[in-house]
Structure 1
Amino acid sequence: MSDTHPLKDQIALLIGAALETVAPDAPVSLEIERPKNPDHGDFSSNAAMQLARPLKRNPRELAQLILTELPASPLIARTEIAGAGFINFHLTPAAWHGIVRRTRAEGAQYGRGDAGRGHRVLVEFVSANPTGPLHVGHGRQAALGDAICNLYAAQGWEVCREFYYNDAGMQIATLANSVQARAKGLKPGDVGWPETAYNGDYIADIAADFLAKKTVESDDREFTASGDVDDLDSIRQFAVAYLRHEQDLDLHAFAVRFDHYYLESSLYTSGRVAATVQKLIDAGKTYEQDGALWLRTTDYGDDKDRVMKKSDGTYTYFVPDVAYHIDKWARGYERAINIQGTDHHGTIARVRAGLQAANVGIPEGYPDYLLHTMIRVMRGGEEVKISKRAGSYVTLRDLIDWTSKDAVRFFLLSRKADTEYIFDVDLAVAKNTDNPVF
């Protein structure tokens, strides 16, 4: 066998050859794993345990039969049977030399393949509304999303990195009112300062540039300020473009770029929300109660039915979510992955239920979700909670400025997404062996 095969595959071939004699007709799905304890070998297989029931044999006896029939290989230093019937493989140094030769020969192409050729995946991540700087949670999403996209692309998938955001709604109205107040000379604490206004220094920066009638350009929009403090619509559009530009600067500094930006407002202006509601009505999956329109999401595993359209005629937030994912499917993305905070956990069942109720051919379990926890930041032995720039939280740019882009990406990817994580700034800049980036 050539040393250009992955070691796992080569071990699977050896076991498969042994099984042709031991159990030629028995169904088995070979699973080759790396043991958590290195004392248990380099690789391990539970093939004997899988075969024990269909063959009505003791798994340890089967393991011994498999080893007896295992072809000789220069890759294997020794084998052993452990526990209920695991087969552990200890490899020779020569086995690893083959991997080293392969990585040197293939260089940056090592690990790439074409298993996903002809398939399309859309990964939606960050998706921050333009109301302030990106926080460290957005940074975790950016690192996770970009890494996942790179992995899919390396296997031949056509990948779309998508950023979904709302350029209207209450948060944007609050942003516009905050900038307008600053443009009129007010500041936090003054009489007349909006009670719900955003207080970060960035609001003053936006107001100053608006009064200067500046033009701002982001990756997906461009706008020139009117400079009129009473022109709230101009203030809103300028503030959105300004903050999208700021977000882009942070993302570019983090080596993350997006292929497509999707506005929530477009779901309404294009008629997709209304069309989605009509699909659900036509499918007989809705009913009216207390003046509201409800969707029978309990038919699809949700814990209770959900309101789609409130008695005042406005839609609940999950309706555009359903419309958005129907559009993802309609654009030809057979796989969709959403990277979001754990606070979005409650939306999963209702969105998937809405997609099934729409009956447009979307498979169950679409889309996939990767949920992450938030991050605490430590610096100088103390937790950092406030950023002067943001006014209320630590930003992604803070982390990059304090450490480096590569260090931030490494540490944010060094733990499972759903585990609590403390980012230690002092460790990330340490020039010693305690710092894995050093």
Structure 2
Amino acid sequence: MRKPGVYDYRVTPETLAEKVLSATREAFEALGLDAAVLPTRTAVERPRDSKHGDYASNIALQTAKKAGTNPRALAEKISELLAAADGIAKVDIAGPGFLNITLDAAAAGEIAGKIVAAGDAYGTNNSMEGVYANLEFVSANPTGPIHAGGTRWAAMGDALARVMRASGAKLTAEYYVNDAGAQIDHFAGSLLARAKGEPTPENGYVGAYIDEIAADVLRTRPDALSADDPYEVFKTVGLELMLADIKSTLADFGTHFDVFFSEKGLHDRGEIDTAVQRLADLGHVFEADGATWLRTTEFGDDKDRVLKNSKGAWTYFASDCAYYLDKRERGFEKLIFMLGADHHGYVGRMQAISRAFGDEPGTMEILIGQFVNLLDNGEPIRLSKRAGNIITLNDVVEAVGVDAARYALTRYSADSMIDLDIELWTKHGNDNPVYYVQYAHSRTNGVLRTARDRGLVLGDGYDASLLHKPQENDLLKALAEFPSVVATAAELREPHRIARYAEELAGAWHRFQNSDSLVVPKVGEQAGPVNVARLWLANATRTVLANALGMLGVSAPERM
């Protein structure tokens, strides 16, 4: 992929917004108004009714009152200046001062050529250039398969990483391995018991996967039960096998991490002692009831938190403090954590860690995601074949496939609970959103294959002004919006915007295909310049659909 950058798309929503702002500055100067009230940025929107133009702006309404002038009069001056700008066909004024902007057909049509030239770099932007971020997601305990909630983060987190990188961020995707503490001891005890043919101990783990890993430990270490410390063997080897299984599952799902960070490493390297000492030097640590505490109530938490308990053992909270400091000392300026709904109570204490270390608000971001329910024809599925009591990532993939699972799990805002119905997401029809988008992509490829077979090629250029029909114009406008959609998805940490955009673009393509705008002429008819222009449009659509699906980690099939 090319390096993210800004391409000359002539007239896009971003460049048009700049033209609007520039014309507004000129209007203020011409009318003798104080330009200090003007915003540094503005935006344009697509009107609901295309009869009102291609884009609309309310900048006259936003600024007129502050400048002490009539919005209609200001709009008239802005429209006069804006209409003279390159690529603008006309500017109409509606109501008290809305600007309705119609693009020149050639300027609008040129976006197709720019997209084809940019290829898989189209959609990338530099809106997050200079941001050095660490994105942590999934981070399920290495004591069992990844459950459905973790599956949602595996899809959304990976998509968010792709979107932020496409927007210029330097981002590290990280998985925090909780390989220290009581849950690891219970896991090891469960493996050892199953290897001996004994009942699962109290607080132990159950499920077919425990029997599988216990057997794998014995295959790896035939002497495990007769070793000097069988428990330690099952703990060490079992953890390695479980983590390898998690990594393999994530890789098969298309989710990749740059770093798997060990909690045990924090203990081994003495980083917890260092972090607590740093907090003590800052005056935030105190002793009470035989324990060591962090005064988190000073930083918005509902109660102070224990760092070392009365038995002299570090708490998970102490590990969290050390982990946070480790990330900061690795140079990350933005720390993003994706947590499940059952961790909502962690937000206050984690934000308190950041503030206790003296960091500015906004250094740490915590995204909370709701749960996923797996349904079959509307009925909930509650048990896993392997894990026994939870639905796992592998269960979701087995039910609907990787593409449908990833798309379904990234299609909704993180704070929305998802009912993932197998019947819907395996359907080959327009009701299935991922099929709808992938079919649009395959349809563009079908058009390109037919054109190639008929000897119709892109050539060195095309007459962009020939793309002026309503369905062509709608498709061009949708294509032009992709970079801004990507930038917004990155800024708001909402990769679901890419999925919804892809569906809108697929709809515009299907409507174009179902109109009388033939890319390839009928048999016996000669291809002309308009067919070449439409071929560029089809190629551009194929490119953007593939790029959008790629940002979601979903395949873009050429045939379906």
Provide the TM-score with structure 1 as the length reference: 0.87
Q: Deviations over 1:140-181 (max 9, x none)?
A: 111112112212322343321111111121211111111111
Judging changes above 3 Å, is the alpha-carbon distance between structure 1 residues 68 and 201 closer, same or farther for their aligned structure 2 residues? same
1:278-427 pair list within 5 angstroms: 278-359=277-358, 362-427=359-424
Q: Which runs of 5+ in 2 are unaligned?
A: 1-6, 30-34, 436-560
Q: Residue 335 and residue 56 in structure 1: after superposition, are their counterparts in 2 closer, same or farther (change >3 A)? A: same
Deviation at 1:196, TM superposition (A): 2.3
The match for 2:247 is 248
Give the deviation of 1:398 after TM superposition. Answer: 1.4
Q: Which residue of 2 aligns with 1:131?
A: 143
Judge conservation of contact 2:176–2:261 (CA < 8 Å) in 1: yes
2:17 aligns with 12
Shift of 1:127: 0.9
8 Å CA contact retained: 1:141, 1:339? yes
Shift of 1:116: 4.8
Give the alignment's Cα RMSD to 1 decimal.
2.7
Say whether the 8 Å CA contact 1:318–1:347 is kept in structure 2. Answer: no
CA contact (8 A) 2:92 2:101 kept: yes
Residue number among 183, 200, 204 corresponding to 1:197 in the alignment = 204
Q: Deviations over 1:323-361 (max 9, x none)?
A: 1111111111122211111222322232232232233xx
SS at match of 2:205: coil
For residues 299 and 425 of structure 1, do their structure 2 counterparts lie closer, same or farther at Cα, with a shift above 3 Å needed? same
Cα drift, residue 278 of structure 1: 1.3
Q: Is residue 225–residue 235 contact of structure 1 (8 Å, CA) maintained in 2?
A: no
Q: Please say if 1:99 is aligned against 2:117.
A: no
> Percent identical across equivalent pairs?
38
Tell me the CA shift for residue 184 of structure 1: 1.1
- By how many angstroms is 1:413 displaced? 0.9
Higher RCO (CA-CA < 8 Å; seq separation 6+): 2
The one-letter code sitting in structure 2 at the alignment partner of 1:30 is: R
Partner of 2:504: none
CA distance in 1 between counterparts of 2:411 and 2:58 reads: 29
Sort the Cα spacing of 1:83 and 1:419 in 2 relative to 1 into closer, same or farther, 3 A: farther
What are the equivalent positions in structure 2 for 1:65-104 lying under 5 Å apart? 65-72=77-84, 75-76=87-88, 79=91, 86-91=98-103, 94-104=106-116
Q: Tell me which amino acid in the other structure corresponds to 2:398.
A: D
CA contact (8 A) 2:21 2:42 kept: no
Give the 3-state SS of the residue equivalent to 1:163 in structure 2: strand
Query: Could you tell me how far apart the structure 1 residues matched to 2:248 and 2:95 are?
Result: 54
Query: Once structures 1 and 2 are overlaid, which stretch shifts more, 58-67 or 270-279?
Result: 58-67
Task: Tell me the equivalent position of 1:258.
Answer: 257
Q: Distance in 2 between matches of 1:381 and 1:133?
A: 25
Per the alignment, in what secondary structure is the counterpart of residue 23 of structure 1?
Answer: helix
In the alignment, what sits opposite 1:189? none
Per the alignment, residue 524 of structure 2 pairs with none
How far apart, CA to CA, are the structure 2 residues paired with 1:46 and 1:174?
A: 62
State which of 100, 123, 128 in structure 2 corresponds to 1:111.
123
Instruction: Give, as a single letter, the amino acid of the residue that structure 2 aligns with 1:211.
Output: L
CA distance in structure 2 between the aligned counterparts of 1:48 and 1:298, rounded to whole angstroms = 47
In the aligned structure 2, how far is the partner of 1:298 from the partner of 1:353?
8
Residue 220 of structure 2 aligns to a residue whose secondary structure is coil
Structure 2 vs 1, CA of residues 395 and 66 (structure 1 numbering), >3 Å: closer, same or farther?
A: same
Separation (CA, whole Å) in 1 of partners of 2:374 and 2:135: 27
* C-alpha deviation, 1:432, in angstroms: 1.2
Q: 1:334 to 1:92 in 2, by over 3 A?
A: same
Would the aligned equivalents of 1:116 and 1:155 in 2 still touch at CA under 8 Å? yes
Q: How many angstroms apart in 1 are the aligned matches of 2:56 and 2:316?
A: 48
Does the 8 Å CA contact 2:133/2:333 hold for their aligned counterparts? yes
CA contact (8 A) 1:149 1:161 kept: yes
Tell me, in whole angstroms, the C-alpha distance in 1 between the residues paired with 2:196 and 2:26: 85
Matched to 2:82, the amino acid is L
Aligned residue for 1:210? Answer: 217
3-state SS of paired residue (1:212): helix
CA contact (8 A) 1:153 1:159 kept: yes
Change (3 A) 1:318 1:234: same
Paired residue secondary structure (2:123): coil
1:231, 1:407 → 2: CA distance? 43
- Report the alpha carbon displacement of residue 414 of structure 1 after superposing the two structures with TM: 0.7
Structure 1 residues 85 and 377: alpha-carbon distance in aligned structure 2, compared to 1, 3 A threshold: farther
Q: 1:96 to 1:182 in 2, by over 3 A?
A: farther
1:121 maps to 2:121: no
1:274 aligns with 2:269: no
Query: What code does the residue aligned with 2:45 have?
Result: R
For residue 50 of structure 1, the aligned residue among 62, 68, 74 is 62
Number of paired residues? 421
Please give the alpha-carbon distance, in whole angstroms, between the structure 1 residues aligned to 2:93 and 2:288.
Answer: 64
Structure 1 pair 390–60 and aligned structure 2 pair: CA distance change class (3 A):
farther
Tell me, in whole angstroms, the C-alpha distance in 2 between the residues paired with 1:304 and 1:45. 48
Structure 1: how far apart are the matches of 2:185 and 2:375? 34
Give the distance between the partners of 2:59 and 2:124, measured in 1 at CA: 28
Partner amino acid, structure 2, of 1:10: T
* Distance in 1, Cα, partners of 2:291 & 2:332: 33
Distance 1:212 1:282, change over 3 A: same
Contact kept in structure 1, 2:47 and 2:56, CA below 8 Å: no
- TM-score, length-scaled by structure 2: 0.69
Query: Hey, what's the Cα distance between the residues in 1 that align with 2:421 and 2:356?
Result: 46
Question: Given the superposition, is the C-alpha separation of residues 114 and 78 from structure 1 closer, same or farther in structure 2, using an over 3 Å criterion?
Answer: closer
Q: State whether residues 49 and 59 of structure 1, in contact with CA within 8 Å, keep that contact through their aligned partners in structure 2.
A: yes
Change (3 A) 1:64 1:314: farther
Relative to structure 1, the CA distance from residue 131 to residue 83 in structure 2 (aligned partners, 3 Å threshold; closer, same or farther) is: farther
Structure 1: runs of 5+ lacking an equivalent: 187-191, 215-223
